[in-house]
Chain A
Amino acid sequence: MTKTPLQFRHNGRDVAVFVDGGVNLLVALRELIGDMTPKFGCGQGGCGACSVLIDGELHLSCLTLAETVNGRTVETLDGLKDGPNLHPLQRAFMEQFAAQCGYCTPGMLMAAKALLDRNPSPTRAEVIEAISGNICRCTGYEPIINAVLTAATSGRARA
């Protein structure tokens, strides 16, 4: 089976790998690029733990054929902080105990980032909608929703 070359921008850096036919983006990110921040939860689109941004849009990396991101931009949790500075979303999640086991957190943060990039002042209902494809089985959604709302406020305060 021949491998296919794949090039894309990963968190601001150009990367090039060879992928097997049918490999999904989650596997390519974790096993070929070594970015372990997107998590494998179900491989079925059901949990959202693998969520990444492709050209700024929220996608499920487990359901994305790796080859389809050729020439595109992929952002994962690994690229969220700015050098040593945490992103306001990361800070709010940490300070407000919006993570327990942390398994859903990378996907939650990317879903929240997709929302705030588009809508810096979301309502509570909009936050709920934005994370509705992401399942958290231990923290509970209230602290997560509150952390996203706090990050939105602090982001506005900084701007």
Chain B
Amino acid sequence: MPVTVKTFSTFGEAASALSSDRSARYLGGGTLVMRALNEGDVSISTVVRATDTALSRIDVASSRVTIGAGVTFARILAERDLAFLHASARSIGGPAVRNMGTVGGNLFAPNPYGDFTVALLALDATVSVQGGLGAREMPIEEFLQSRERQSGALVLAVSCQRPASADAFRYRKIARIKPKGGSVITLAAHLPVSGGRVSGARIALGSMAATQIRARAAERALEGRPLDDSAISAAAAAAAEGVSPTDNALGSAWYRREIVGVHLRRLLSGLE
């Protein structure tokens, strides 16, 4: 069924078109929206686009980095200042998907996708959203929890603090098909260390619940302790607490629960 395509030159116009029409869907890179249209998804009758260059801006001037929602994974990989995000960008799809898929679209990607969002969740990112009532910033966790209700809002950008050191941020995606493939589990950990002890640990998991989630029990197991074998064992043992994975073709819920601790242990030990 043909849809109406509305292209705007400013994100403000796109945001109001989006918020005033329930059957409108924003088109980022289109890797998921076009898939839905090709399948004949009749819930989409309008596609909204914005050609505004503000959406594809990357700002790495300070210790805080801001990435426009329309930035593709290929662009992240070309940006040396975003090296800490390269492993997660590289883990997405094949080269064509990385040339097309955007950071903004990834925030809405259902399981087994949304890998980049796992990294952003561990980095405590902020999401800038333009809704019908204006722009606001929200913590990524809050954004993800209300994701279903965000469909009428336009994401403008995400921002996060650069990790203190290369070792403080770690990412790992478990996939069956390499070099590309959907996630069995995706893990990211931000482990700032102060005075030899972990302080402010954040661990995020993908494909372990309906949206990306924090592994809070594992975080608590690390907090205030040196990152040694006993702390890592405690975190690994707690990794499956609070998760609610589902079965899909890549793995069963049972399997995911069984292996999440194993992979968290490897991530925290710095093993390949």
Contacts and interface: CB of A to CB of B under 8 A. Distances in A.
A39 interface: no
Interface stretch (A84-92, A126-134, A144-152): A126-134
Contacts of A134: 94
B97 interface: yes
A44 B52 CA distance: 27
A48 B94 CA distance: 9
Interface residues of B, number: 27
A129 B95 CA distance: 8
Contacts of A23: 2
Interface in B88-103: 93-97, 99-100
Main secondary structure of the interface of B (DSSP, over half): mixed
A65 interface: yes
B180 A4 contact: no
B170 interface: no
Given A20-B2, A129-B179, A65 B47 contact: yes
Contacts of B164: none
Interface stretch (B31-39, B228-236, B241-249): B31-39
A63 interface: yes
B31 A63 contact: yes
Contacts of A44: 35, 38-39
Interface string A1-16: 1001000000000000
A62 B34 CA distance: 8
A128 B179 contact: yes
Contacts of B146: none
A59 B7 CA distance: 21
Contact of A63 (B1, B4, B30, B47): B30
A92 B35 CA distance: 33
B95 A130 contact: yes
A65 B47 CA distance: 10
B43 to A, nearest CB: 13
Contacts of B34: 24, 62-65
Interface string B236-265: 000000000000000000000000000000
B99 A22 contact: no
A21 interface: yes
Interface in B150-173: none
A43 B41 CA distance: 13
Interface in B1-55: 1-5, 7, 27, 29-31, 34-35, 37-39, 47, 49
A36 interface: no
Nearest to B93: A133
Nearest to B44: A22
Contacts of B4: 1, 21
A45 interface: yes
A58 B27 contact: no
Nearest to B31: A63
A101 to B, nearest CB: 21
Contacts of A43: 35, 38-39
Interface string A40-78: 000111001001000001111011110110000000000
A111 B2 CA distance: 30
Nearest to A133: B94
Nearest to A52: B96
B38 A62 contact: yes
B5 A22 contact: yes
A19 to B, nearest CB: 9
B96 A58 contact: yes
Nearest to A70: B7
A63 B35 CA distance: 6
- Please provide the 9 A-B residue pairs with the shortest distance between their CB atoms, ordered closest to farther: A133-B94, A22-B3, A43-B38, A63-B34, A1-B2, A20-B2, A132-B94, A21-B2, A58-B96
Given A21-B5, A63-B38, 9 more contacts: A4-B5, A22-B5, A24-B37, A65-B5, A65-B47, A67-B7, A128-B179, A132-B179, A133-B180
7 contacts: A21-B5, A24-B34, A51-B96, A62-B34, A63-B29, A133-B94, A133-B97
